[in-house]
Structure 1
């Protein structure tokens, strides 16, 4: 990690957490609980956008990077809004292609994949069907990202049968759900920088 820190000129490792509304809401929650940097030694930047779909990740990231050093760590949580709209095979292929491009473009940047979490509702798609797709995509991406020498953030504590973890819309997380979600990031980042 030291060589990555020196390449960006920062005293602390830099982390960019990018993704959909879970990231935007997670940042808001983190500010009032753990702090913007999640109580870690890292300098964390957040780039969350409600409704973000996977095809927006690379353009949004490249726009953010203009005039900046790439982060030491890129942590992505996205893809949930694509489930049920894209075939799982097509989604996983796009994710792999984009992550491989990012690794080739920024070889010193460590890439992390935050697993797509369970929800209580996925629009008109049946929960059982979407659960199979979600698990398959997460499994494919875990294998792929680990093959890139990256890391995985799992969210095993977020379960669709626990209504207290979700807001009334059955998609976004309550304060308690957000805390579980963010603590998965904290545990992973602390292990990474230990």
Structure 2
């Protein structure tokens, strides 16, 4: 039986699936392999992580005040280190050399299908899954679970606490699948409460909040317009107050169809590239301070 046609811009010619907001997991279109089907942890993709990370306590990034600005603007920050473990997903060796400051740093990137597909896109870009920052000693572990809800974050991190080395930087692109599940106020409070636990579990880690990207197909919902803007602003401000960093994706323009996939949820190849550029720019500005 012939396989369904998949948009050519997707890494590996795979379909991003339908809306990333399934209740217990994600709905899948025909042609997805069994290894891509999400479960509480089975759907997690560890790309760039694995036991290759050094087995010693995390190092420390220089502590500096952080301003919550666009990754394309002036940013400063402070935080701590990462060594990822494989969850049966893609594993890529870490950089073999230390950064120019003589130290290595680790970044965990965690989130829903945006992180799954951003990891796939990064793999075929110059610099690979380490965002082109391996020369600065950065090792990136990708934990992207399609359909992931905010409630699954602590479950995942509780498992990852057994890693021999904890992250220096923890970038979260999560919460988009919860926007319609509760009020904005309740979701903001839930996020803050859980992030307090994360900071307790990983002392000294630098939190990076990647703003939830609005979805063209959800614009009829007020929670996805004014509500989402308020949520990103409040969570970002709180993360900055904890010494973290907010990435504002100022390139997002809902009137520009070329940035989005036809499903009205995911991004196009151009959109993924811009998102990855934000990730890389924010991390580079942090590491440049070492």
TM superposition score normalised by structure 2: 0.62
Separation of aligned partners in 2, 1:120 and 1:8? 34
Separation of aligned partners in 1, 2:200 and 2:122? 31
Q: Is the 8 A contact 1:24 1:50 kept in 2?
A: yes
1:18-167 equivalence runs, <5 A: 18-34=110-126, 35-40=128-133, 41=136, 42-122=138-218, 126-167=220-261
Query: For the aligned residues, what is the CA RMSD?
Result: 2.0
| 3-state SS of paired residue (2:225) | helix
Q: Is the 8 A contact 2:184 2:223 kept in 1?
A: no
Q: Is the 8 A contact 1:121 1:127 kept in 2?
A: no
Separation of aligned partners in 1, 2:150 and 2:172? 10
Q: 1:134 to 1:8 in 2, by over 3 A?
A: closer
- Greater CA drift, 157-166 or 7-16: 7-16
Q: Is the 8 A contact 1:155 1:184 kept in 2?
A: yes
Separation of aligned partners in 2, 1:145 and 1:21? 22
| 3-state SS of paired residue (1:137) | helix
Q: CA deviation at 1:64?
A: 2.5
Equivalent residue for 1:4?
60
| 3-state SS of paired residue (1:100) | helix
Q: CA deviation at 1:4?
A: 1.8
Q: 1:7 to 1:79 in 2, by over 3 A?
A: closer
Q: Unaligned regions of 5+ residues in structure 2, if any?
A: 1-57, 62-79, 84-97
The answer to which structure has the higher helix fraction is 1
Q: 1:128 to 1:94 in 2, by over 3 A?
A: closer
Q: 1:127 to 1:162 in 2, by over 3 A?
A: farther
Separation of aligned partners in 2, 1:88 and 1:114? 17
Aligned residues: 191
Partner deviation per Cα, 1:88-109 (whole Å, 9 max, x = no partner): 1111001000111111222221
Q: Is the 8 A contact 2:173 2:209 kept in 1?
A: yes
| 3-state SS of paired residue (1:168) | coil
Q: Unaligned regions of 5+ residues in structure 1, if any?
A: none
Equivalent residue for 2:17?
none
Where do 4+ consecutive residues of structure 1 move more than 6 Å?
5-10
TM superposition score normalised by structure 1: 0.91
Is 1:15 matched up with 2:107? Answer: yes
